[in-house]
Amino acid sequence: MFKKLKAEIDSIMERDPAARSRAEVYFLYSGFKAVRSYRRANWFYRHNMKFVARFISQRARHKTGIEIHPGAVIGRGLFIDHGMGVVIGETAEIGDNCTIYQNVTLGGTGKDVGKRHPTLGNNVLVGSGAKVLGPFRVGDNARIAAGAVVLSEVPENATAVGVPAKIVRVNGVKPTACSELDQIHVTDPVEQKIAQLECEIEQLRDAVIQLSNKERK
C-alpha cells in the first residue's frame, strides 16, 4: 500500500515542476486527493456497494472540484493537475502515467449504451478544457491540445487539435518529457494543409511557365 502511495506521489513530482516536496503533494494537491478517494470508492463499487462508492466520490467532488465516477478504470500514476472541473465518466478507462489538466471531460455523447466513455492509453496528455466524448480509444503517448473537442479515435503518438479535433502525427516518436507538458505549441493541421496547397500552387505555376516557354520556342 505504502509503495503504491509513494509511486503515485513520485509520478507527480516527476511531472510537476511546481511540486516542492512530497508532503506538499500529499496534503495539498487536489488531484492527488481525488485519485485517492477514487481508489477507495472503486473498491466499494467492485464489491457491489455502489451507494457507499457514490457517497465517497461525491464527497471528493465537493472537496476537490473533481468528479470521478467510482466505476471508471484508472491505471497507475494518474496526475490531475489543478483539476477543478474535471469529470471522468463511469465507463471511462485510463492507462498508466496519464496527465489531465483542469476542466477536462472524459464523457459520453448521450447516444451510446454500455461502453459510453473514452479509453485513454498509457502516457496520454489531455490539455486544459479539452472534451473527449464517446466510446473510442486514445492511443498510447497521444496528446490532446487545450480546448480540443475529440469525437473520434486518436492514434498512438499523435496530437489532436481543434474543434472538432483533427489529428497530427508525431512521426511515431514519443514526445520528450518537456513537450508532453506543452499544451499550446502543437502543430496546427489547418496551417499544414494551407502550406501544402501553397507548395502545390507554386509547382503548378512553375510547370505552366515551363510549358509556355517551350511553346514560344
Judge residue 79's burial from the number of C-beta atoms within 10 Å of its C-beta, 0-12 exposed, 13-18 middle, 19 or more buried. buried
Q: Tell me the pTM.
A: 0.76
Place of cell 464489491: 47
Say which amino acid occupies 151. L
pLDDT, residue 104, reads 96
Residue 94, beta-bridge partner list: 74, 120
Residue 197 is placed in which grid cell? 496547397
pLDDT, residue 211, reads 83
Nearby residues of 12 by Cβ (< 8 Å), 6 or more positions away: 19, 25, 29, 31, 32, 79
CA distances from 213 to 29, 202, 205, 207, 217 (A): 70, 17, 12, 10, 6
Phi–psi pair at 19, nearest 5 degrees? -75, 115
Closest CA to 36 of 71, 10, 74: 74
**b/e for 5-19, b at 16 or more Cβ within 10 A?**
eeebbebbbebbeeb
- Options 2.160.10.10, 3.40.50.720, 2.40.30.30, 2.40.240.20; CATH for 2-185 is 2.160.10.10
Q: What is the pLDDT along the chain (217 residues), one digit of tens a residue?
A: 778 888 889 889 988 888 889 899 999 999 999 999 999 999 999 999 999 999 999 999 999 999 999 999 999 999 999 889 999 999 999 999 999 999 999 999 888 788 999 999 999 999 999 999 999 999 999 999 999 999 999 999 999 998 888 887 665 554 444 445 555 555 566 666 776 788 788 888 888 888 888 777 6
- Outline where DSSP puts E strands in the chain: 67-68, 73-74, 79-80, 87-88, 93-94, 99-100, 105-107, 119-120, 125-126, 131-133, 137-138, 143-144, 149-150, 158-161, 166-169
Give the domain ranges of the chain. 2-185, 187-217
Residue 161 is placed in which grid cell? 487539435
pLDDT, residue 5, reads 86
pLDDT, residue 177, reads 44
Residue 2 is placed in which grid cell? 505504502
